[in-house]
Amino acid sequence: MELWYTEKQTDNVGITCKVNRTLHTETSPFQRIDVLETKQFGRMLLLDGLVMTTEKDEFVYHEMIAQVPLNTHPDPQRVLVIGGGDGGSLREVTRHPKVRQATLCEIDARVIEVCQEYFPAIANALRGNPKAEILVADGIAHIQERPHYYDVILIDSTDPIGAAEGLFTLDFYRQVYKSLKEDGIMAAQTESPFYDLNLVRKIYKNIEQVFPVTKLYLASIPTYPSGLWSFTLGSKRYDPEQVKEADIPDMPMQYYTAQIHKAAFNLPKFIDDALKTL
Amino acid sequence: MELWYTEKQTDNVGITCKVNRTLHTETSPFQRIDVLETKQFGRMLLLDGLVMTTEKDEFVYHEMIAQVPLNTHPDPQRVLVIGGGDGGSLREVTRHPKVRQATLCEIDARVIEVCQEYFPAIANALRGNPKAEILVADGIAHIQERPHYYDVILIDSTDPIGAAEGLFTLDFYRQVYKSLKEDGIMAAQTESPFYDLNLVRKIYKNIEQVFPVTKLYLASIPTYPSGLWSFTLGSKRYDPEQVKEADIPDMPMQYYTAQIHKAAFNLPKFIDDALKTL
């Protein structure tokens, strides 16, 4: 018998993966959580049936959401990850040499616990890391408690439906702005330009209303819809495209390089055009 | 009833698309040819069950296989497309202002005819274009008949199984080299770095044995395996990364820009590392 899992990425297209077995399934107070063992991508985490991360391609998303803003900031000492209960973004933050405090604020404790059990290489900073502060709390409430506090905030959320809807609003980005220091930077995962260009533009326009420097960047993630994923960086002062290669620390990477840092901001014409449209 | 078409992109992962209806199906002397009308991507051409092109995302592949080498060459007057019976690469070549003669050499006349019927916007250069020369012939034989003739050769083939296997060999690239003028350039589609990195490397190493300048570049194509596709450019003289932006003609594009031309050569670390491995 062959078992295949199909995620409908839109109403009309999906990715289908051969599954060895289901390792875990539960419904937490916030969402359904599944861990599958796939042939192509190794272990796969799904929330409400959507692929969040896999062992084989997680490096792209986590390096790119974290290292681009971290290396845009000259001294990212205090960093917050909102969401990201799998720990991958936190791992990237804690291994950055300049970071002193890495706070994770995840609303669903069960995501953290499940990932600690099934994804040790992704979740390794979630336990026993001296730089890490792990909070099970609402990210929107948390940033209101820490005004003018963080150098970098990463918004590592699920899609803008259900629990994460509030993490894509204009009001939320204003709160993020207030929780950042005077030269702070945020970066957020902001969906697929091929399948949902209007949504990408809408989020970008929200962030652009709040941050003087707003730039979209891209990475290739096979298990995410269309394989091309966008991130939006909002910055109070520093321009991510002006970073000097010599200032980027030499760390082991699988996707990110100093050249990729810059190349990722060069957008295909149809995306660039969409962002320029009012 | 819902009809879905699933292409297994490897043994363990696939893309699945909602289908309105099948517009055409036949078996030519070379391959099975299908045209589906999909909800997500419009009309879709499949050869032996593999997605070749779709109305919605064809612009990425065709702009990138053609415009990158065309704009690397200072005066691409004579250009050959091997394969590419859908006409998309030929369309890109014929609309380039410096091209005077655009030859298409496709082995399967039925692909040309089917695409003329079902993909008029892709196939528009296949009929009545004064720059175009359409040959139904074996590309390997054709280049041997025209030594030292072309400025640019595009290898717009199917995957290296079956009919196209000979278009990925060291001997074939040597023939391509001979059919190019002393400052000629070739570009080929060279598969998915995420799903078949060893194959990408093997093809790259073959081309590198023949051309003094060999560089891999990337583009995001949702309907191709993993969503990230590689092209390899082999050049006798010109370096594609040294092109001056001012020399790139101003043409309507959906994906390609002068900035994308350069950014596409910045490779994720795991790909760069693989190409450096002997």
Which residue from B13, B15, B17 is facing A40, i.e. has the nearest CB?
B13
Instruction: Tell if the CB–CB gap between B16 and A14 is shorter than 8 Å.
Output: yes
Mean pLDDT of A131-137: 98
State the smallest CA–CA distance between residue A226 and chain B in angstroms.
Answer: 4
3-class DSSP string for B262-273:
HHCCCCCHHHHH
Same domain, B27 and B101: no
CB contacts under 8 A, B 97-116 vs A, are none
Domain with residue A13: its CATH number is: 2.30.140.10
Instruction: Tell if the CB–CB gap between A12 and B266 is shorter than 8 Å.
Output: no
Instruction: Tell if the CB–CB gap between A266 and B260 is shorter than 8 Å.
Output: yes
Provide the number of CB pairs (under 8 Å) joining chain A to chain B: 131
Q: Which residue on chain A is closest to B59 by alpha carbon?
A: A270
Q: Residue ranges of chain B with pLDDT lower than 70?
A: none
Closest among B145, B107, B88 to B28, alpha carbons compared: B107
Q: Are B190 and B231 in contact (CB under 8 A)?
A: yes
In percent, the amount of chain A with pLDDT more than 70 equals 100
Closest among B92, B60, B82 to B218, alpha carbons compared: B60
* Tokens coding A26: 């539960």
Q: Give the integer Cα–Cα distance in Å for B40 and B106.
A: 28
Kindly report the average pLDDT of chain A as a whole number. 97
- A6 has a chain B CB within 8 A of its CB: yes
Instruction: Tell if the CB–CB gap between B39 and A269 is shorter than 8 Å.
Output: no
Which residue from A10, A194, A220 is facing B228, i.e. has the nearest CB?
A220
Instruction: Tell if the CB–CB gap between A12 and B40 is shorter than 8 Å.
Output: yes
Give residue B213's pLDDT: 98
Instruction: Tell if the CB–CB gap between B10 and A268 is shorter than 8 Å.
Output: no
Q: Give the integer Cα–Cα distance in Å for B84 and B74.
A: 24
Q: What is the pLDDT of residues A210-249, one digit of tens each?
A: 999 999 999 999 999 999 999 999 999 999 999 999 999 9
What is the band of A171 on the pLDDT scale with cuts at 50, 70, 90?
very high
Q: Name A26's bridge partners.
A: A33
User: Domain containing B16: what range?
Assistant: 3-53
State the smallest CA–CA distance between residue B159 and chain A in angstroms.
Answer: 19
What is the band of A164 on the pLDDT scale with cuts at 50, 70, 90?
confident
Alpha helix positions (H), B95-151: 109-118, 120-123, 139-145
Q: Cβ contacts (< 8 Å) between B276 and chain A: which residues?
A: none
- A32 has a chain B CB within 8 A of its CB: no
Give residue A160's pLDDT: 86
Residue B24: which residues within 8 A CB-CB, separation 6 or more? B33, B34, B35, B114, B117, B118
Sign of the Cα pseudo-torsion (A132, A138, A142, A145, in order): negative
End position of a domain, from candidates A38, A54, A70: A54
Same domain, B20 and B145: no
State the smallest CA–CA distance between residue A190 and chain B in angstroms.
Answer: 17
Residue B138 identity: D
What is the band of A147 on the pLDDT scale with cuts at 50, 70, 90?
very high
Q: Cβ contacts (< 8 Å) between A253 and chain B: which residues?
A: 269
- B68 has a chain A CB within 8 A of its CB: no
| pTM for the whole structure | 0.97
Q: Cβ contacts (< 8 Å) between A6 and chain B: which residues?
A: 16
Q: Name B217's bridge partners.
A: B231
Same domain, A142 and A127: yes
Same domain, B66 and B200: yes
Instruction: Tell if the CB–CB gap between B257 and A268 is shorter than 8 Å.
Output: yes
pLDDT at A277 over 90: no
Give the least confident one: A56-70, A161-175, B121-135.
Answer: A161-175
Same domain, A142 and A266: yes
Same domain, A157 and A224: yes
- B22 has a chain A CB within 8 A of its CB: no
What is the band of A203 on the pLDDT scale with cuts at 50, 70, 90?
very high
Mean pLDDT of A43-51: 97
Same domain, A48 and A106: no
Same domain, B28 and B104: no
What is the band of A278 on the pLDDT scale with cuts at 50, 70, 90?
confident
Closest among B46, B150, B50 to B104, alpha carbons compared: B150
Domain with residue A209: its CATH number is: 3.40.50.150
Instruction: Tell if the CB–CB gap between B13 and A269 is shorter than 8 Å.
Output: no
Neighbours of B71 (CB within 10 A): 23
Residue B141: which residues within 8 A CB-CB, separation 6 or more? none
- B30 has a chain A CB within 8 A of its CB: no
- Residues of A with catalytic function: 156
Instruction: Tell if the CB–CB gap between B255 and A266 is shorter than 8 Å.
Output: no
Q: Give the integer Cα–Cα distance in Å for B34 and A233.
A: 43
- A217 has a chain B CB within 8 A of its CB: no
State the smallest CA–CA distance between residue B243 and chain A in angstroms.
Answer: 16
Measured CA distances, B88 to A266, B46, B124, B253 (Å): 24, 15, 8, 13
Same domain, B166 and B111: yes
Within A138-235, strands assigned E span: 150-156, 180-189, 213-220, 228-235
3-state secondary structure of B83: strand
State the ipTM, two decimals.
0.97
Looking at residue B98, what DSSP letter applies? Answer: T
Same domain, A205 and A96: yes
Same domain, B186 and B93: yes
End position of a domain, from candidates A15, A34, A54: A54
Q: Report the half-sphere exposure of B76 (CA within 13 A, side-chain side).
A: 32
Residue B212 identity: P
Q: What is the pLDDT of residues A247-271, one digit of tens each?
A: 999 999 999 999 999 999 999 999 9
Measured CA distances, A89 to A67, A103, A122, A178, B271 (Å): 9, 11, 9, 22, 22
Q: Give the integer Cα–Cα distance in Å for A140 and A177.
A: 12
- Greatest CA separation found in chain A? 58
Best probe of the B interface among A19, A195, A220, A265, by most B CBs < 10 A, is A220
Which residue from A11, A263, A272 is facing B266, i.e. has the nearest CB?
A263
Alpha helix positions (H), chain B: 58-72, 88-94, 109-118, 120-123, 139-145, 170-179, 197-210, 258-263, 269-276
Residue B34 annotated in active site: no
Angle among Cα B223, B228, B232 to the nearest 5 degrees reads: 115
Which residue from A40, A59, A267 is facing B10, i.e. has the nearest CB?
A40
Residue A213: which residues within 8 A CB-CB, separation 6 or more? A233, A234, A235, A236, A237, A238, A239, A240
* Tokens coding B50: 């593999």
Same domain, A94 and A217: yes
Closest among A97, A114, A115, A168 to A139, alpha carbons compared: A168
Q: Cβ contacts (< 8 Å) between A254 and chain B: which residues?
A: 268-270
Domains in chain A, number:
2
Instruction: Tell if the CB–CB gap between A12 and B57 is shorter than 8 Å.
Output: no
Give residue B160's pLDDT: 86
Sign of the Cα pseudo-torsion (B92, B71, B265, A67, in order): negative
Instruction: Tell if the CB–CB gap between B227 and A218 is shorter than 8 Å.
Output: no
What is the band of A1 on the pLDDT scale with cuts at 50, 70, 90?
confident
